[in-house]
Amino acid sequence: MRHEILCGALAGAAGTAALDAATYLDMAVRGRPASTTPEQSVEKLVKLLHLRVPGDDGRRKNRVAGLGPLLGILTGTAVGAVYGAVVSMTGRRPVWQGSVLGGTGAMLAANGPMAVLGLTEPRAWTAADWWSDVLPHVAFGTVTALTFDLTAR
């Protein structure tokens, strides 16, 4: 099981790179701005946990801007590790099923906490908002499942 969890974490990291690439491609094609929810998540978590991000206004802002994407990388890697654990317990599945499982898991792991923190309301999203979120998570799920399948032999 430990091998599958490690392979899953590595696959999740690869999936995160695919999600980021799909997101940046969407931004470039449509000319849309970057989401501010990663930084808002950091701010909300820091406040909830009674922590402090050090630095003057400029440095603090830069640290928060760095911590937001790092939170996303951590989430994607963790989702991959959970994927590896699930596959270890339930057995191999076709890549298309793993893609759906991984992509759905990543969407829930990313959007669930942000919704709970009051940073987003998926029920109010437009169709364009949904596509902007679903397509990168499809890329995440597909690359995660393929990478896991290739590495966990």
What Rg value do the Cα atoms of the chain yield, rounded? 16
pTM of the model: 0.91
How far out from the chain centre does Cα 81 lie? 13
Q: What total number of domains does the chain contain? A: 1
- What's the whole-number mean pLDDT along residues 34-48? 94
The single-letter DSSP state of residue 35 is P
Q: Is pLDDT of 57 > 90? A: no
State the Cα–Cα distance between residues 13 and 26, nearest whole angstrom.
20
Alpha carbon distance 91, 94 (integer Å): 10
Neighbour count for residue 129 (Cβ, 10 Å): 12
- Domain that residue 80 falls in: 2-35+72-151
pLDDT in tens, 110-137: 999 999 999 999 999 999 899 999 999 9
Distance CA 36, CA 51 (A): 20
